[in-house]
Structure 1
Amino acid sequence: MREISLDRLRTLVVIADNGSFADAARQLNLAPPTISLHIAELEARIGAPLLSRTRGQVRPTAIGETLLARARRLLADADQALDEVRRQVQGLTGRVRLGASTGAIAHLLPQALDALRGEHPGIDVEVQVLTSQASLARLREGSLDIGLVALPQEAGKGLQVTPWRRDPIMAYVPADWRPPARVTPAWLAGRALILNDSTTQLSRVTAQWFAAAGLYPEARIELNYNDAIKSLVAAGYGATLLPQEGEGAQHDLRIVRRPLRPGMWRQLGIACRQGEPERATGHVLQALARLRQ
Protein backbone atom coordinates (compact mmCIF):
# COMPACT_ATOMS: atom_id res chain seq x y z
CA MET A 1 0.00 0.00 0.00
CA ARG A 2 1.46 3.35 -1.04
CA GLU A 3 2.12 6.02 1.59
CA ILE A 4 0.42 9.42 1.37
CA SER A 5 2.70 11.99 -0.23
CA LEU A 6 3.33 15.28 1.57
CA ASP A 7 2.98 17.03 -1.80
CA ARG A 8 -0.58 15.68 -2.11
CA LEU A 9 -1.39 16.81 1.41
CA ARG A 10 0.01 20.27 0.69
CA THR A 11 -2.21 20.47 -2.39
CA LEU A 12 -5.25 19.61 -0.25
CA VAL A 13 -4.37 22.30 2.31
CA VAL A 14 -3.83 25.00 -0.30
CA ILE A 15 -7.13 24.17 -2.04
CA ALA A 16 -8.97 24.35 1.29
CA ASP A 17 -7.31 27.66 2.18
CA ASN A 18 -8.13 29.24 -1.21
CA GLY A 19 -11.46 27.54 -1.86
CA SER A 20 -10.44 27.06 -5.47
CA PHE A 21 -8.56 24.51 -7.59
CA ALA A 22 -7.44 27.24 -9.98
CA ASP A 23 -6.07 29.50 -7.23
CA ALA A 24 -4.27 26.54 -5.68
CA ALA A 25 -2.70 25.68 -9.04
CA ARG A 26 -1.38 29.23 -9.38
CA GLN A 27 -0.04 29.32 -5.81
CA LEU A 28 1.70 25.96 -6.14
CA ASN A 29 2.87 26.68 -9.69
CA LEU A 30 1.26 23.49 -10.95
CA ALA A 31 -0.98 22.78 -13.91
CA PRO A 32 -4.72 22.47 -13.02
CA PRO A 33 -4.85 18.81 -14.20
CA THR A 34 -2.01 18.03 -11.77
CA ILE A 35 -3.95 19.58 -8.89
CA SER A 36 -7.00 17.49 -9.79
CA LEU A 37 -4.83 14.36 -10.04
CA HIS A 38 -3.39 14.98 -6.55
CA ILE A 39 -6.85 15.12 -5.02
CA ALA A 40 -8.04 12.11 -7.00
CA GLU A 41 -5.07 10.09 -5.73
CA LEU A 42 -5.76 11.15 -2.13
CA GLU A 43 -9.45 10.27 -2.40
CA ALA A 44 -8.61 6.90 -3.93
CA ARG A 45 -6.15 6.27 -1.09
CA ILE A 46 -8.68 7.31 1.57
CA GLY A 47 -11.67 5.75 -0.12
CA ALA A 48 -13.97 8.75 0.35
CA PRO A 49 -14.49 12.29 -1.05
CA LEU A 50 -12.37 14.97 0.58
CA LEU A 51 -13.73 18.08 -1.12
CA SER A 52 -17.17 19.20 -2.19
CA ARG A 53 -18.01 21.83 -4.82
CA THR A 54 -20.98 24.07 -4.13
CA ARG A 55 -21.80 27.14 -6.26
CA GLY A 56 -18.21 27.37 -7.47
CA GLN A 57 -16.80 27.19 -3.94
CA VAL A 58 -14.63 24.24 -2.92
CA ARG A 59 -15.04 23.12 0.68
CA PRO A 60 -13.69 20.15 2.62
CA THR A 61 -16.04 17.32 3.54
CA ALA A 62 -16.20 16.07 7.13
CA ILE A 63 -13.60 13.43 6.27
CA GLY A 64 -11.60 16.08 4.47
CA GLU A 65 -11.62 18.27 7.60
CA THR A 66 -10.21 15.39 9.66
CA LEU A 67 -7.43 14.80 7.14
CA LEU A 68 -6.74 18.54 6.84
CA ALA A 69 -6.11 18.87 10.60
CA ARG A 70 -3.57 16.05 10.46
CA ALA A 71 -2.06 17.34 7.20
CA ARG A 72 -1.40 20.80 8.64
CA ARG A 73 0.48 19.28 11.59
CA LEU A 74 2.48 16.91 9.35
CA LEU A 75 3.45 19.72 6.99
CA ALA A 76 4.44 21.98 9.89
CA ASP A 77 6.57 19.19 11.38
CA ALA A 78 8.20 18.53 8.00
CA ASP A 79 8.97 22.24 7.53
CA GLN A 80 10.43 22.45 11.05
CA ALA A 81 12.58 19.36 10.46
CA LEU A 82 13.93 20.80 7.22
CA ASP A 83 14.65 24.12 8.92
CA GLU A 84 16.53 22.40 11.74
CA VAL A 85 18.59 20.35 9.29
CA ARG A 86 19.26 23.45 7.18
CA ARG A 87 20.50 25.35 10.23
CA GLN A 88 22.76 22.42 11.13
CA VAL A 89 24.17 22.28 7.60
CA GLN A 90 24.88 26.02 7.86
CA GLY A 91 26.71 25.46 11.15
CA LEU A 92 24.22 27.52 13.19
CA THR A 93 23.18 24.54 15.31
CA GLY A 94 24.35 20.98 15.84
CA ARG A 95 25.57 18.40 18.31
CA VAL A 96 29.26 17.47 18.41
CA ARG A 97 30.40 14.40 20.35
CA LEU A 98 33.84 14.83 21.92
CA GLY A 99 35.94 12.37 23.94
CA ALA A 100 38.82 13.32 26.24
CA SER A 101 40.55 12.47 29.50
CA THR A 102 39.32 13.91 32.78
CA GLY A 103 42.33 16.23 32.98
CA ALA A 104 41.71 17.73 29.55
CA ILE A 105 38.00 18.08 30.31
CA ALA A 106 38.64 19.84 33.61
CA HIS A 107 41.50 22.15 32.63
CA LEU A 108 41.51 22.65 28.85
CA LEU A 109 38.03 22.23 27.43
CA PRO A 110 36.30 24.97 29.47
CA GLN A 111 38.30 27.67 27.69
CA ALA A 112 37.40 26.31 24.26
CA LEU A 113 33.73 25.78 25.14
CA ASP A 114 33.43 29.28 26.58
CA ALA A 115 34.71 30.81 23.34
CA LEU A 116 32.48 28.50 21.29
CA ARG A 117 29.38 29.49 23.26
CA GLY A 118 30.03 33.16 22.54
CA GLU A 119 30.48 32.64 18.80
CA HIS A 120 28.13 29.70 18.09
CA PRO A 121 25.58 29.40 20.90
CA GLY A 122 23.47 26.91 18.94
CA ILE A 123 26.18 24.22 18.97
CA ASP A 124 25.96 21.63 21.75
CA VAL A 125 29.13 19.72 22.66
CA GLU A 126 28.50 16.33 24.25
CA VAL A 127 31.61 15.52 26.30
CA GLN A 128 32.53 11.93 27.20
CA VAL A 129 35.34 10.77 29.51
CA LEU A 130 37.36 8.38 27.36
CA THR A 131 40.89 7.06 27.08
CA SER A 132 42.76 7.77 23.87
CA GLN A 133 42.21 4.24 22.56
CA ALA A 134 38.50 4.39 23.34
CA SER A 135 38.19 7.74 21.56
CA LEU A 136 39.87 6.36 18.43
CA ALA A 137 37.67 3.26 18.49
CA ARG A 138 34.50 5.35 18.70
CA LEU A 139 35.69 7.64 15.95
CA ARG A 140 36.15 4.61 13.69
CA GLU A 141 32.67 3.28 14.46
CA GLY A 142 31.10 6.72 13.95
CA SER A 143 29.82 7.33 17.50
CA LEU A 144 32.29 10.17 18.18
CA ASP A 145 33.23 13.29 16.19
CA ILE A 146 36.39 14.55 17.93
CA GLY A 147 38.86 12.91 20.29
CA LEU A 148 41.59 14.56 22.34
CA VAL A 149 44.22 11.83 22.44
CA ALA A 150 47.69 11.35 23.91
CA LEU A 151 50.42 11.06 21.28
CA PRO A 152 51.81 9.08 19.61
CA GLN A 153 48.81 7.20 18.21
CA GLU A 154 48.15 5.14 15.11
CA ALA A 155 45.24 6.93 13.52
CA GLY A 156 44.21 4.06 11.28
CA LYS A 157 42.17 4.11 8.10
CA GLY A 158 39.74 6.98 7.75
CA LEU A 159 41.07 8.99 10.69
CA GLN A 160 43.55 11.82 11.09
CA VAL A 161 45.42 12.92 14.20
CA THR A 162 46.85 16.45 14.37
CA PRO A 163 49.37 17.50 17.06
CA TRP A 164 47.68 19.94 19.44
CA ARG A 165 49.46 20.62 22.74
CA ARG A 166 52.72 19.79 24.51
CA ASP A 167 52.27 20.13 28.27
CA PRO A 168 54.98 19.51 30.89
CA ILE A 169 54.49 16.57 33.23
CA MET A 170 54.97 17.62 36.83
CA ALA A 171 55.40 15.88 40.16
CA TYR A 172 52.52 16.41 42.59
CA VAL A 173 53.76 15.63 46.07
CA PRO A 174 52.34 15.91 49.62
CA ALA A 175 53.70 19.18 51.01
CA ASP A 176 55.06 17.57 54.17
CA TRP A 177 57.40 15.38 52.09
CA ARG A 178 59.49 18.49 51.37
CA PRO A 179 60.48 17.59 47.79
CA PRO A 180 63.51 19.10 46.09
CA ALA A 181 63.20 21.98 43.63
CA ARG A 182 63.34 19.44 40.77
CA VAL A 183 62.14 15.89 41.30
CA THR A 184 64.27 13.07 39.89
CA PRO A 185 63.36 9.42 39.21
CA ALA A 186 65.67 8.33 42.03
CA TRP A 187 64.00 10.59 44.60
CA LEU A 188 60.47 9.56 43.57
CA ALA A 189 60.97 5.82 43.03
CA GLY A 190 61.45 5.08 46.74
CA ARG A 191 58.14 6.70 47.71
CA ALA A 192 54.49 5.68 47.49
CA LEU A 193 53.12 6.42 44.04
CA ILE A 194 49.62 7.00 42.67
CA LEU A 195 49.73 6.65 38.88
CA ASN A 196 47.57 6.15 35.81
CA ASP A 197 47.11 2.51 34.84
CA SER A 198 48.96 0.73 32.06
CA THR A 199 46.19 1.30 29.47
CA THR A 200 47.11 5.00 29.21
CA GLN A 201 49.82 6.74 27.23
CA LEU A 202 50.77 8.69 30.37
CA SER A 203 51.56 5.41 32.15
CA ARG A 204 53.85 4.34 29.31
CA VAL A 205 55.67 7.69 29.26
CA THR A 206 56.09 7.57 33.04
CA ALA A 207 57.48 4.02 32.91
CA GLN A 208 60.01 5.10 30.27
CA TRP A 209 61.11 8.03 32.45
CA PHE A 210 61.85 5.73 35.37
CA ALA A 211 63.38 3.02 33.15
CA ALA A 212 65.85 5.50 31.66
CA ALA A 213 67.27 5.77 35.19
CA GLY A 214 67.22 1.97 35.66
CA LEU A 215 64.23 2.11 38.00
CA TYR A 216 60.98 0.13 37.84
CA PRO A 217 58.76 1.21 40.77
CA GLU A 218 55.26 -0.19 41.29
CA ALA A 219 52.35 2.12 41.97
CA ARG A 220 50.59 1.90 45.31
CA ILE A 221 47.32 2.94 43.64
CA GLU A 222 46.34 3.12 39.95
CA LEU A 223 43.60 5.51 38.82
CA ASN A 224 42.66 7.28 35.60
CA TYR A 225 40.86 10.24 37.21
CA ASN A 226 43.40 12.99 37.73
CA ASP A 227 41.38 15.04 40.20
CA ALA A 228 40.82 11.93 42.33
CA ILE A 229 44.56 11.24 42.21
CA LYS A 230 45.29 14.78 43.42
CA SER A 231 42.84 14.35 46.29
CA LEU A 232 44.75 11.25 47.39
CA VAL A 233 48.04 13.15 47.11
CA ALA A 234 46.57 15.91 49.28
CA ALA A 235 45.60 13.25 51.84
CA GLY A 236 49.22 12.05 51.95
CA TYR A 237 48.67 8.65 50.25
CA GLY A 238 51.43 9.16 47.74
CA ALA A 239 52.93 11.29 44.96
CA THR A 240 51.98 11.35 41.32
CA LEU A 241 53.12 12.48 37.88
CA LEU A 242 50.52 14.39 35.87
CA PRO A 243 50.45 16.91 33.01
CA GLN A 244 50.22 20.54 34.07
CA GLU A 245 47.40 21.08 31.51
CA GLY A 246 47.36 24.86 31.73
CA GLU A 247 46.53 24.95 35.44
CA GLY A 248 46.85 28.20 37.27
CA ALA A 249 48.05 28.68 40.79
CA GLN A 250 47.54 25.78 43.14
CA HIS A 251 44.76 26.17 45.69
CA ASP A 252 45.37 23.09 47.85
CA LEU A 253 48.25 23.93 50.18
CA ARG A 254 48.66 20.25 51.06
CA ILE A 255 50.16 19.63 47.60
CA VAL A 256 53.30 21.03 46.08
CA ARG A 257 54.01 20.83 42.36
CA ARG A 258 57.56 20.43 41.12
CA PRO A 259 59.16 20.20 37.67
CA LEU A 260 61.07 17.05 36.78
CA ARG A 261 64.72 16.40 36.06
CA PRO A 262 65.05 15.22 33.37
CA GLY A 263 61.96 16.92 32.01
CA MET A 264 59.03 14.93 30.70
CA TRP A 265 56.19 16.02 28.43
CA ARG A 266 52.70 14.84 27.58
CA GLN A 267 51.72 15.49 23.96
CA LEU A 268 48.09 15.70 22.92
CA GLY A 269 46.56 15.48 19.48
CA ILE A 270 43.14 16.14 17.99
CA ALA A 271 41.67 13.09 16.27
CA CYS A 272 38.78 13.26 13.82
CA ARG A 273 37.61 11.60 10.64
CA GLN A 274 39.34 12.46 7.39
CA GLY A 275 37.68 14.81 4.94
CA GLU A 276 35.68 17.99 5.34
CA PRO A 277 33.91 17.96 8.73
CA GLU A 278 30.35 19.07 9.30
CA ARG A 279 30.26 22.78 10.02
CA ALA A 280 29.39 22.38 13.70
CA THR A 281 32.35 20.02 14.13
CA GLY A 282 34.53 22.48 12.24
CA HIS A 283 33.60 25.28 14.64
CA VAL A 284 34.58 23.12 17.62
CA LEU A 285 37.89 22.24 15.95
CA GLN A 286 38.58 25.96 15.43
CA ALA A 287 37.87 26.70 19.09
CA LEU A 288 40.25 23.92 20.15
CA ALA A 289 42.94 25.14 17.71
CA ARG A 290 43.15 28.41 19.63
CA LEU A 291 44.48 26.47 22.63
CA ARG A 292 47.27 24.93 20.57
CA GLN A 293 50.77 25.22 21.99
Structure 2
Amino acid sequence: MREISLDRLRTLVVIADLGSFAEAARQLNLAPPTISLHVAELEARVGAPLLSRTRGQVRPTAIGETLLVRSRKLLADAELALEEVRRQVQGLTGRVRLGASTGAIAHLLPQALEMLRVEHPGIDVQVQVLTSQASLAGLREGRLDIALVALPQVAGKGVQITPWRRDPIMAYVPSEWRPPARVTPAWLAQRALILNDSSTQLSRVIAQWFGAAGLFPEPRIELNFNDAIKSLVGAGYGATLLPQEGEVAALDPRVSRRPLRPGLWRQLGIACRVGEMELATGYVLAALEGLRQ
Protein backbone atom coordinates (compact mmCIF):
# COMPACT_ATOMS: atom_id res chain seq x y z
CA MET A 1 0.00 0.00 0.00
CA ARG A 2 1.36 3.42 -0.96
CA GLU A 3 2.07 5.97 1.77
CA ILE A 4 -0.01 9.16 1.83
CA SER A 5 2.01 11.99 0.31
CA LEU A 6 2.60 15.12 2.38
CA ASP A 7 1.90 17.11 -0.80
CA ARG A 8 -1.63 15.69 -0.91
CA LEU A 9 -2.18 16.54 2.74
CA ARG A 10 -0.84 20.06 2.17
CA THR A 11 -3.32 20.49 -0.69
CA LEU A 12 -6.18 19.44 1.59
CA VAL A 13 -5.10 21.91 4.30
CA VAL A 14 -4.77 24.83 1.89
CA ILE A 15 -8.19 24.14 0.32
CA ALA A 16 -9.77 24.02 3.80
CA ASP A 17 -8.03 27.25 4.84
CA LEU A 18 -8.99 29.18 1.68
CA GLY A 19 -12.37 27.53 1.09
CA SER A 20 -11.66 27.28 -2.62
CA PHE A 21 -10.06 24.84 -5.05
CA ALA A 22 -9.16 27.70 -7.41
CA GLU A 23 -7.51 29.79 -4.68
CA ALA A 24 -5.60 26.74 -3.43
CA ALA A 25 -4.34 26.05 -6.96
CA ARG A 26 -3.03 29.62 -7.22
CA GLN A 27 -1.34 29.57 -3.81
CA LEU A 28 0.31 26.18 -4.39
CA ASN A 29 1.19 27.08 -7.99
CA LEU A 30 -0.56 23.97 -9.29
CA ALA A 31 -3.04 23.42 -12.10
CA PRO A 32 -6.69 23.11 -10.95
CA PRO A 33 -6.94 19.52 -12.27
CA THR A 34 -3.92 18.60 -10.14
CA ILE A 35 -5.62 20.00 -7.04
CA SER A 36 -8.74 17.97 -7.78
CA LEU A 37 -6.62 14.85 -8.37
CA HIS A 38 -4.90 15.25 -4.97
CA VAL A 39 -8.24 15.36 -3.20
CA ALA A 40 -9.60 12.44 -5.21
CA GLU A 41 -6.57 10.32 -4.31
CA LEU A 42 -6.99 11.11 -0.61
CA GLU A 43 -10.71 10.31 -0.71
CA ALA A 44 -9.98 7.04 -2.49
CA ARG A 45 -7.50 6.12 0.26
CA VAL A 46 -9.86 6.85 3.16
CA GLY A 47 -12.99 5.66 1.34
CA ALA A 48 -15.12 8.70 2.16
CA PRO A 49 -15.60 12.33 1.06
CA LEU A 50 -13.27 14.82 2.72
CA LEU A 51 -14.68 18.09 1.37
CA SER A 52 -18.18 19.34 0.59
CA ARG A 53 -19.33 22.32 -1.49
CA THR A 54 -22.11 24.41 0.07
CA ARG A 55 -23.27 27.65 -1.63
CA GLY A 56 -19.96 27.89 -3.48
CA GLN A 57 -17.93 27.47 -0.29
CA VAL A 58 -15.73 24.40 0.14
CA ARG A 59 -15.82 22.98 3.68
CA PRO A 60 -14.36 19.84 5.24
CA THR A 61 -16.67 16.99 6.13
CA ALA A 62 -16.53 15.47 9.62
CA ILE A 63 -14.08 12.86 8.34
CA GLY A 64 -12.18 15.61 6.56
CA GLU A 65 -11.88 17.55 9.85
CA THR A 66 -10.34 14.49 11.51
CA LEU A 67 -7.78 14.13 8.74
CA LEU A 68 -7.07 17.87 8.75
CA VAL A 69 -6.09 17.81 12.44
CA ARG A 70 -3.58 15.05 11.79
CA SER A 71 -2.41 16.64 8.53
CA ARG A 72 -1.57 19.96 10.17
CA LYS A 73 0.49 18.16 12.83
CA LEU A 74 2.31 16.02 10.25
CA LEU A 75 3.14 19.05 8.12
CA ALA A 76 4.36 21.01 11.16
CA ASP A 77 6.51 18.06 12.27
CA ALA A 78 7.97 17.74 8.77
CA GLU A 79 8.84 21.43 8.70
CA LEU A 80 10.40 21.20 12.16
CA ALA A 81 12.49 18.22 11.04
CA LEU A 82 13.71 20.14 7.99
CA GLU A 83 14.54 23.17 10.15
CA GLU A 84 16.55 21.02 12.55
CA VAL A 85 18.47 19.51 9.65
CA ARG A 86 19.08 22.96 8.14
CA ARG A 87 20.52 24.19 11.45
CA GLN A 88 22.77 21.15 11.60
CA VAL A 89 23.96 21.69 8.02
CA GLN A 90 24.74 25.31 8.95
CA GLY A 91 26.75 24.15 11.97
CA LEU A 92 24.39 25.81 14.48
CA THR A 93 23.52 22.48 16.06
CA GLY A 94 24.80 18.93 15.78
CA ARG A 95 25.88 15.80 17.57
CA VAL A 96 29.52 14.69 17.47
CA ARG A 97 30.49 11.25 18.78
CA LEU A 98 34.00 11.10 20.25
CA GLY A 99 36.01 8.20 21.66
CA ALA A 100 38.99 8.66 23.99
CA SER A 101 40.82 7.16 26.95
CA THR A 102 39.93 8.11 30.51
CA GLY A 103 43.11 10.17 30.87
CA ALA A 104 42.43 12.29 27.80
CA ILE A 105 38.79 12.73 28.83
CA ALA A 106 39.67 13.81 32.36
CA HIS A 107 42.60 16.13 31.68
CA LEU A 108 42.47 17.34 28.07
CA LEU A 109 38.94 17.17 26.69
CA PRO A 110 37.32 19.54 29.25
CA GLN A 111 39.34 22.48 27.87
CA ALA A 112 38.07 21.83 24.34
CA LEU A 113 34.49 21.35 25.57
CA GLU A 114 34.60 24.67 27.44
CA MET A 115 35.69 26.45 24.26
CA LEU A 116 32.87 24.78 22.31
CA ARG A 117 30.28 25.71 24.93
CA VAL A 118 31.15 29.38 24.47
CA GLU A 119 31.58 29.49 20.68
CA HIS A 120 29.15 26.77 19.53
CA PRO A 121 26.61 26.11 22.30
CA GLY A 122 24.31 24.10 20.03
CA ILE A 123 26.83 21.30 19.48
CA ASP A 124 26.45 18.19 21.64
CA VAL A 125 29.62 16.12 22.07
CA GLN A 126 28.86 12.56 23.12
CA VAL A 127 31.97 11.04 24.70
CA GLN A 128 32.70 7.33 24.98
CA VAL A 129 35.50 5.85 27.09
CA LEU A 130 37.35 3.51 24.72
CA THR A 131 40.80 2.14 23.99
CA SER A 132 42.55 3.47 20.91
CA GLN A 133 41.85 0.32 18.91
CA ALA A 134 38.17 0.33 19.88
CA SER A 135 37.90 4.01 18.91
CA LEU A 136 39.43 3.37 15.50
CA ALA A 137 37.03 0.47 14.95
CA GLY A 138 34.15 2.80 15.87
CA LEU A 139 35.33 5.32 13.27
CA ARG A 140 35.61 2.70 10.53
CA GLU A 141 32.15 1.33 11.35
CA GLY A 142 30.53 4.78 11.47
CA ARG A 143 29.77 4.72 15.21
CA LEU A 144 32.19 7.57 16.01
CA ASP A 145 33.11 10.85 14.32
CA ILE A 146 36.40 11.65 16.14
CA ALA A 147 38.84 9.63 18.23
CA LEU A 148 41.79 10.57 20.41
CA VAL A 149 44.24 7.69 20.05
CA ALA A 150 47.66 6.75 21.35
CA LEU A 151 50.30 6.57 18.62
CA PRO A 152 51.46 4.72 16.67
CA GLN A 153 48.29 3.15 15.23
CA VAL A 154 47.27 1.69 11.90
CA ALA A 155 44.47 3.96 10.70
CA GLY A 156 42.78 1.52 8.31
CA LYS A 157 40.73 2.26 5.23
CA GLY A 158 38.78 5.50 5.27
CA VAL A 159 40.38 6.87 8.45
CA GLN A 160 43.15 9.43 8.84
CA ILE A 161 45.26 10.11 11.94
CA THR A 162 47.02 13.41 12.63
CA PRO A 163 49.69 13.72 15.37
CA TRP A 164 48.34 15.91 18.17
CA ARG A 165 50.22 15.91 21.47
CA ARG A 166 53.44 14.59 22.96
CA ASP A 167 53.16 14.34 26.74
CA PRO A 168 55.93 13.15 29.08
CA ILE A 169 55.39 9.89 30.91
CA MET A 170 56.21 10.27 34.59
CA ALA A 171 56.76 7.93 37.52
CA TYR A 172 54.16 8.19 40.30
CA VAL A 173 55.64 6.66 43.43
CA PRO A 174 54.54 6.44 47.08
CA SER A 175 56.37 9.32 48.82
CA GLU A 176 57.43 7.02 51.65
CA TRP A 177 59.63 5.13 49.15
CA ARG A 178 61.82 8.26 48.83
CA PRO A 179 62.28 8.02 45.05
CA PRO A 180 65.36 9.51 43.36
CA ALA A 181 65.19 12.77 41.40
CA ARG A 182 64.96 10.76 38.16
CA VAL A 183 63.56 7.25 38.13
CA THR A 184 65.34 4.58 36.09
CA PRO A 185 64.04 1.21 34.82
CA ALA A 186 66.42 -0.60 37.22
CA TRP A 187 65.13 1.27 40.28
CA LEU A 188 61.46 0.87 39.35
CA ALA A 189 61.66 -2.80 38.32
CA GLN A 190 62.57 -3.76 41.89
CA ARG A 191 59.32 -2.43 43.25
CA ALA A 192 55.61 -3.29 43.09
CA LEU A 193 54.05 -1.88 39.95
CA ILE A 194 50.53 -0.82 38.92
CA LEU A 195 50.39 -0.63 35.11
CA ASN A 196 47.92 -0.37 32.26
CA ASP A 197 46.87 -3.71 30.78
CA SER A 198 48.71 -5.14 27.79
CA SER A 199 45.94 -4.21 25.33
CA THR A 200 46.84 -0.51 25.52
CA GLN A 201 49.48 1.40 23.59
CA LEU A 202 50.76 2.88 26.86
CA SER A 203 51.50 -0.61 28.15
CA ARG A 204 53.52 -1.41 25.03
CA VAL A 205 55.52 1.83 25.29
CA ILE A 206 56.35 1.12 28.94
CA ALA A 207 57.31 -2.48 28.16
CA GLN A 208 59.73 -1.21 25.51
CA TRP A 209 61.24 1.23 28.04
CA PHE A 210 61.91 -1.57 30.50
CA GLY A 211 62.94 -3.96 27.71
CA ALA A 212 65.62 -1.58 26.45
CA ALA A 213 67.29 -2.01 29.86
CA GLY A 214 66.90 -5.81 29.70
CA LEU A 215 64.13 -5.80 32.29
CA PHE A 216 60.68 -7.42 32.08
CA PRO A 217 58.89 -6.78 35.40
CA GLU A 218 55.44 -8.23 36.11
CA PRO A 219 52.91 -5.70 37.44
CA ARG A 220 51.19 -6.33 40.73
CA ILE A 221 47.91 -5.28 39.12
CA GLU A 222 46.78 -4.02 35.71
CA LEU A 223 44.27 -1.19 35.62
CA ASN A 224 43.19 1.35 32.99
CA PHE A 225 41.67 4.09 35.17
CA ASN A 226 44.40 6.62 35.91
CA ASP A 227 42.76 8.30 38.91
CA ALA A 228 42.17 4.89 40.52
CA ILE A 229 45.80 3.99 39.85
CA LYS A 230 46.99 7.19 41.57
CA SER A 231 44.77 6.43 44.55
CA LEU A 232 46.44 3.02 44.88
CA VAL A 233 49.85 4.68 44.65
CA GLY A 234 48.84 7.03 47.47
CA ALA A 235 47.86 4.00 49.54
CA GLY A 236 51.37 2.58 49.07
CA TYR A 237 50.15 -0.33 46.93
CA GLY A 238 52.71 0.26 44.19
CA ALA A 239 54.26 2.69 41.71
CA THR A 240 53.09 3.49 38.21
CA LEU A 241 54.03 5.19 34.95
CA LEU A 242 51.45 7.60 33.50
CA PRO A 243 51.41 10.52 31.08
CA GLN A 244 51.43 13.99 32.55
CA GLU A 245 48.39 15.33 30.72
CA GLY A 246 47.48 18.98 30.53
CA GLU A 247 48.30 21.32 33.37
CA VAL A 248 50.28 19.99 36.30
CA ALA A 249 47.75 19.43 39.06
CA ALA A 250 48.45 19.29 42.78
CA LEU A 251 49.19 15.74 43.89
CA ASP A 252 48.19 13.81 46.95
CA PRO A 253 51.13 14.47 49.34
CA ARG A 254 51.47 10.71 49.67
CA VAL A 255 52.42 10.54 45.96
CA SER A 256 55.67 11.77 44.44
CA ARG A 257 55.94 12.48 40.70
CA ARG A 258 59.34 12.04 39.10
CA PRO A 259 60.68 12.33 35.53
CA LEU A 260 62.24 9.25 33.95
CA ARG A 261 65.80 8.51 32.87
CA PRO A 262 65.87 7.85 29.97
CA GLY A 263 62.89 10.04 29.17
CA LEU A 264 59.68 8.51 27.85
CA TRP A 265 56.81 10.10 25.98
CA ARG A 266 53.19 9.26 25.17
CA GLN A 267 52.08 10.49 21.76
CA LEU A 268 48.45 11.15 20.93
CA GLY A 269 46.77 11.62 17.58
CA ILE A 270 43.38 12.83 16.38
CA ALA A 271 41.59 10.35 14.12
CA CYS A 272 38.61 11.06 11.88
CA ARG A 273 37.09 9.70 8.71
CA VAL A 274 38.46 10.78 5.34
CA GLY A 275 36.26 13.01 3.20
CA GLU A 276 33.69 15.73 3.72
CA MET A 277 32.50 16.17 7.30
CA GLU A 278 29.70 18.03 9.02
CA LEU A 279 30.44 21.54 10.26
CA ALA A 280 29.83 20.44 13.87
CA THR A 281 32.58 17.83 13.59
CA GLY A 282 34.90 20.45 12.11
CA TYR A 283 34.23 22.79 15.05
CA VAL A 284 35.13 20.04 17.54
CA LEU A 285 38.33 19.31 15.63
CA ALA A 286 39.22 23.01 15.68
CA ALA A 287 38.72 23.13 19.47
CA LEU A 288 40.98 20.09 19.89
CA GLU A 289 43.59 21.70 17.64
CA GLY A 290 43.74 24.52 20.17
CA LEU A 291 45.29 22.03 22.62
CA ARG A 292 47.97 20.93 20.17
CA GLN A 293 51.51 21.11 21.54
User: Residue 65 of structure 2 aligns with which residue?
Assistant: 65
1:196 aligns with 2:196: yes
User: Residue 30 of structure 1 aligns with which residue?
Assistant: 30
Which residues of 2 match residues 1-80 of structure 1 at below 5 A?
1-80=1-80
% identity of equivalent residues: 85
SS in 1 for 2:95: strand
Which residues of 2 match residues 1-293 of structure 1 at below 5 A?
1-293=1-293
Give the CA deviation at 1:178: 1.1
Give the CA deviation at 1:180: 1.0
In structure 2, how many angstroms separate the alpha carbons of the residues matched to 1:82 and 1:267? 42
SS in 1 for 2:81: helix
Residues 73-123 of structure 1, C-alpha deviation per residue, up to 9 Å, x if partnerless? 111111111111111111111111111000000000000000011111111
Give the CA deviation at 1:132: 0.4
Aligned-CA RMSD value: 0.9
In structure 1, how many angstroms separate the alpha carbons of the residues matched to 2:278 and 2:118? 19
Look up the equivalent residue of 1:291 and give its one-letter code: L
SS in 2 for 1:27: helix
In structure 2, how many angstroms separate the alpha carbons of the residues matched to 1:95 and 1:227? 28
SS in 2 for 1:181: coil
Look up the equivalent residue of 1:217 and give its one-letter code: P
SS in 2 for 1:171: strand
Give the CA deviation at 1:133: 0.5
In structure 2, how many angstroms separate the alpha carbons of the residues matched to 1:183 and 1:198? 22
Give the CA deviation at 1:249: 2.9
Residues 4-27 of structure 1, C-alpha deviation per residue, up to 9 Å, x if partnerless? 100000000011111111211121
In structure 2, how many angstroms separate the alpha carbons of the residues matched to 1:246 and 1:178? 26
Give the CA deviation at 1:248: 2.4
Look up the equivalent residue of 1:13 and give its one-letter code: V
SS in 1 for 2:153: coil
In structure 2, how many angstroms separate the alpha carbons of the residues matched to 1:118 and 1:249? 24
Question: How does the TM-score come out when normalised to structure 2?
Answer: 0.98
Q: Which runs of 5+ in 2 are unaligned?
A: none
In structure 1, how many angstroms separate the alpha carbons of the residues matched to 2:41 and 2:222? 69
Look up the equivalent residue of 2:62 and give its one-letter code: A
In structure 1, how many angstroms separate the alpha carbons of the residues matched to 2:246 and 2:182? 19
Look up the equivalent residue of 1:34 and give its one-letter code: T
In structure 2, how many angstroms separate the alpha carbons of the residues matched to 1:2 and 1:249? 63
In structure 1, how many angstroms separate the alpha carbons of the residues matched to 2:57 and 2:40? 18
Residues 181-237 of structure 1, C-alpha deviation per residue, up to 9 Å, x if partnerless? 111111111011000011000001001111111111110010011111011001110
Question: How does the TM-score come out when normalised to structure 1?
Answer: 0.98
Look up the equivalent residue of 1:161 and give its one-letter code: I
Moved over 4 A (4+): none
In structure 2, how many angstroms separate the alpha carbons of the residues matched to 1:61 and 1:230? 74
SS in 1 for 2:63: helix
Look up the equivalent residue of 1:287 and give its one-letter code: A
Q: Which runs of 5+ in 1 are unaligned?
A: none
Look up the equivalent residue of 2:228 and give its one-letter code: A
Give the CA deviation at 1:52: 0.6
In structure 2, how many angstroms separate the alpha carbons of the residues matched to 1:282 and 1:234? 40
SS in 2 for 1:183: coil
